[in-house]
Amino acid sequence: MDEKQASPWRLEWQQWVRVLSLTHNRYQISKLVMLPMKDAREVLQALAMHGFAELQARIMLRSHRPRPPWRHEVPKTADRAPSRTFFLWHVPTEKCFQILLKNTLTSLANVRQRARLEREKRAALLIKSTRLDVKENPELLSEAEHTMLRELKSVLRRLGQAEMRLMQQITQLQY
């Protein structure tokens, strides 16, 4: 669903994961999040596509043997019609942590690459600003160069802050 079409009542994915930890049945999930069944099913499928939710693949029988992998539903009737079947969902927490860690590491690589590209793009200005004569007499830089240097330092500072936040998240996700 597009962002423009998103309901103002739509929950964030973290809230969906929290709801999934409370209940496993899509009918109950739909009631808890106060969405029509169709919308709840779409969100559950999107979460499943990204790895944050799964259909329960194995339910234990009385003999404590796992059922075949296709047994991730509980039929209301013998015909196993999807409209009359409870599909049970769960949150694979370890897999979620691994996905979040992978996404955070990718973001960290992107931030570092962006900082490197910003430095390369203005390499001549950086070299000129670090020269000894320019350090002693900053008036050797034009007003435009001063502005570009301030903008570059601002961008690099923000990228450094983003890198520190991502490093904190990585540390939290690893432990």
Backbone dihedral angles phi then psi of residue 85, each to the nearest 5 degrees: -135, 140
Percent of the chain with pLDDT over 90: 26
The whole-number pLDDT of residue 59 equals 42
For residues 161 and 138, which has the higher predicted lDDT (pLDDT)?
Answer: 161
For residues 110 and 13, which has the higher predicted lDDT (pLDDT)?
Answer: 110
Q: What is the pLDDT of residues 18-36, one digit of tens each?
A: 777 666 677 777 777 777 8
Separation CA 93–CA 71 (nearest Å): 21
Q: What is the pLDDT of residues 66-94, one digit of tens each?
A: 444 444 556 666 776 666 667 777 788 88
Beta bridge partners of 90: 54
Q: What is the pLDDT of residues 115-146, one digit of tens each?
A: 999 999 999 888 888 888 878 788 888 888 88
Q: What is the pTM of this model?
A: 0.65
Report the half-sphere exposure of 79 (CA within 13 A, side-chain side): 4
